Every structure is written in structure tokens, then in C-alpha cells.
Amino acid sequence: MSSRKSMYLDLSVHELIEQAIQRGEGILAANGTLSITTGKRTGRSPNDKFFVKTSDTANEIAWGTINHGIEEKVFQKLWDKTLDYLDTVDTFVSNLQVCADTKHYLPIKMISEYAWHNLFACQLFIRPQDFYGKENEKQEWTILSAPGLRTDPVYDETNSDATLIIHLTERKVLLCGHHYAGEIKKAIFSVLNYLLPPQNVLPMHCSANVSKQGDIALFFGLSGTGKTTLSADPKRYLIGDDEHGWSEEAIFNFEGGCYAKCIDLSPESDPVIWEAIRYGAVMENVIIDPITLEPSYDNASITQNTRVAYPIDFVKQRIYKQRIDRHPSVIIFLTCDLYGVLPPVARLTQEQATYYFVSGYTALVGSTEVDQVETIKATFSTCFGAPFFPRPPEVYASLLKQRLSNSAAQVYLVNTGWTQRSYGQGYRFPIAITRKIIHAILHGHLNEAEYSLLPGFRLSIPKALPDIDPMLLDPRKNWKNALEYNAKLKELIVQFLENAQRLNFSQSIQSAGPTLEDL
């Protein structure tokens, strides 16, 4: 048996970067970031993710095509195999935390084969100096990350040579063969999405920011719809960019960092993110010039899903404690409509908000999953994050309804997708237009607007907003061919109706959705 290699405990950011460079894991780009390539997997691998099926979880998880079950004995055999493997390589250990909340925090022990995986976790989770809970008050969760250990589908009873398994009862997360670090972040998000609902906390795949006056805004949406970009507002304070909890008392961030897309990044369109990318950050799959070491953000030759991870400290306009003891004033559902028939903004009733939250209609943009093959396609992703929500959709829908009923939050549907015609023929709303719409929402202009009703979807759309062409606000007026518009409208409504058949909507929620009856 090989002797145990070195174990590095709670290294500093600088030490982890030095170790990563010395080990050939990455290079320093001209902007100071550690630049990494992740091999054949440049996104999450949903078919390789499992939950251990135990007596505690058997009736709590919505098992199926998203939440795959695995036997406990299979997990234990692979866990032991991974421990044996990690005995043969140097390992990096960091003690961290998730949830910026003294009641709901979880202590995390991150054990990784790669120094840069540990750096990623240190920058994305909450560091010990920012600890929100009490030492040793809760039992810790353990993450094992062994990218060099490839699984054998026959011997290990997995789907491929990479595997992610979550054991909710034993508080363990196992990653084998995964180089893409986003799997680490989203595994813990899945854990929290399981644990928090019984504690009357709504877990949310959303970004959050707050004004100087204390008005909180939440931005829901899948990757590529603008969630991180639109919440990174130089005139507002960032709470967090991706994962939050909404309890009866507060909004709080799950993380201590941000994980932003890099494709087509520029200081003009993304000034907050641009300034946050510096020494200490980690870039994944961004092309680096071999001579100048300058990153090429517009180069997608590896993947559209280029990423950068950095601590929230790198954002100048931020909330330090990442928890605010109040309810949001505004909730924005970001949807990327490929059909081009949804308006750039619509005001939702509480019933409509529940319907669109559970439906989660949008587009897959930027191939965040390995099987997307760099394509753009329409999808319905429950809670705007179906791969990360293990419980049945009605659990999260019920919590959202409670929060909306007990707060004054107004919900809006914002289309960051196509208009004038469908994807491939029309054009996508420019980020400048979407920013103006978000500005109008946050400054109360939507409260003062006069509305009309969009047939089919029965959405309330404003007739006019400051500094925006009124033609853009109504998709019917923005299309040149009314017959073509109506055909695409009906096509999308049919998709909504088919998707609704798999969801457990009450009659009141179902009736808030689109219909073909008034067309």
C-alpha cells in the first residue's frame, strides 16, 4: 500500500494559487486570475448525479429523470474507494460554511485532490473569518473531490467515468472524475434545497441586490438569462449572485462568492464583473493568448460556458453580512423566449407568479450542461432551476405563495430573449433595453404605468415606460407579420399547456396560465 501523501490544511488563497501553478493545474492570466481548463466536461453532467436512496429520503425526493437514486451500498463502496485513492495523492482541506444565517448555516469540510478546486470552494463558499454560526454547534458536511479517479460504470455501478453522489443522511458529497468546479457549488445548492423547506425557508435560484433605501430585488433565471449581469448594478448593493434563502424574517445568501459567465464580457456591458476579475479569482475554459496571456472573452472555441469565480469581497457595492431582515419589494422572473412572442416586461398576479415560477419557461443558453452540445433550445425548468430542486415542485410553490401572501412583493416577468420574430430570424433584446426595463421596475415606474392585456398569455403589459420605444413593449406591434406572430404564439401556448399536465397545479393556479380560448 502506498504511503499517505501530504495534506494541506486551510491554506491561504495565495498558497492555493501557488500550489495550483506549481502542480501544472493552471496558469496566471495577464489579469491576475488563475486560468484553468476542465477537459471534456465544461459544464454540469446531470446524468451522472445521484442521491442515495434511504428510508429518510425515499418519500421526500421527486425521483425520476432529474433526481436519480442510487443504493447505499453502491455509494459506500465508492466512498471507501475514493478515500483509498486520496491516500495516494496530496490533498487540500478547507473548513468552510454555507448560508449567511446564524440559524440555517452548514459547516463544510472540503477535501480535494486539486489545489484549484479547494481555491474555488474557498472563494465561492463562506470563509472562516466570515463565519455566521457558532463553532461546533452543527455537524459538518464533507465533500470529497477526486477528479483523477475515474469511475467504472460496470464495477462502480455508475453511468460513466464521472460521478456525483449526495448522501443526505450521512452529510456527504462525493465527486469522482469531475474537473468542472461548478459541480461542487451546485451539489451543495441541491443539499440546501432539500434541507431548508422543512425549516420554512424557500431556497431560491436567484440573485439579489438592495438599494440604499433598503428595497430588495430578487432576480430568478437560468444561466444565460442575465441573472448575474442584471443584479450586478453599480447603483445598488449586491447581496449575492445565484443562491438565496427567504425565511419568515430575512433574505440571506447561501454563498460567499460569485460564479459569473465570461462569454462576451466587457467593461461596458458588465462593469461590476469586469472589475471583480483579478488575482484570487479562478477562470474556467477562457481562451488565453499564449504570448500576452490576455483572456479572449469573445472566444468560445472551448465552450460558451466560460466562467469566473471570485469572492463577493471583490464587488465594491455589496452587503457585508449578506443577510437582510426584511422581505423583497420586487421579484423578477428572467425568461429567454426563443419564440419572440413574450413582452419585454409584464406584471404578474400572485397566481400567475406561482404558475410561471413552477413552469420555469426559458431557454438553455451557453451549454451549462455537458449534453447540450452548445445549442440554444426552449425548456421548462421548475423553479428556474429544476436540476437543483430535489423535492416535488409543489413544496417550493407552496412556500413561494406563503411568502408572496405575507409580503408586499410585486412580481414581474422580464423577457431577455427574442422579439420581432423567433430565434434565428428576429433579434434578442439588447442588454441596454433590459437594463432600462429593470431600472423602470426598481424605480416604481411600473406602478404608475397604464396597462393592456396580452391575449393568450393574459399578461398585463405597460403601454409606455420612460426612455423606451412603446412599440417594443407589445410584441404584437413589434412583429411585422401578424399571422406569423399568432402562429408562434399558439405554438408556445401549446407547449405551456403540455408542460402543465405534468405539474400538480390547483385550478386557481392553472387558470392563471396561458390559454388558446381567447385567440
Q: Is 307 a catalytic residue?
A: yes
Residue 426's SS3 state is coil
Give the Å distances, CA to CA, from 80 to 83, 164, 343.
5, 15, 53
207 classed as catalytic? no
88 is known as an active-site residue: no
Report the amino acid identity of residue 474.
D
Measured in whole angstroms, the distance separating CA 138 from the mean position of its chain's CA atoms is 26
Residue 318 among the catalytic residues: no
- The SS3 of residue 146 is strand
Q: What are phi and psi of 361, to 5 degrees?
A: -70, 135
H/E stretch holding 119: helix 115-124
For 313-345, the three-class secondary structure string (H helix, E strand, C coil) is HHCCCECCCCEECCCCCEEEEEECCCCCCCCCE
Which listed residue (53, 185, 205, 261) is catalytic? Answer: 205
| Residue of 127, 179, 307, 327 marked active site | 307
Helix and strand totals (H; E) in the chain: 14, 30
**Catalytic hit among 225, 228, 329, 367:** 228
Which letter, b or e, does each residue of 153-191 get, where b requires 16 or more Cβ atoms within 10 Å of its Cβ? eeebbbbbbbbbbbbbeebbbbbbbbbbbbbbbbbbbbb
Is 242 known to be catalytic? yes
Amino acid present at 151:
T
- E strand segments, 133-250: 141-146, 163-167, 172-176, 202-210, 216-220, 237-240, 243-246
Q: Tell me which of 242, 362, 379, 445 is the catalytic residue.
A: 242
Which candidate, 303, 429, 413, places its Cα nearest to that of 362?
413
Can 436 be counted among the known catalytic residues? Answer: no
Q: Which of 227, 347, 445, 488 is catalytic?
A: 227
Instruction: Find the catalytic residue in 179, 186, 244, 347.
Output: 186
Cell 477537459, residue located? 39
Residues with catalytic roles: 44, 186, 205, 223, 227-228, 242, 307
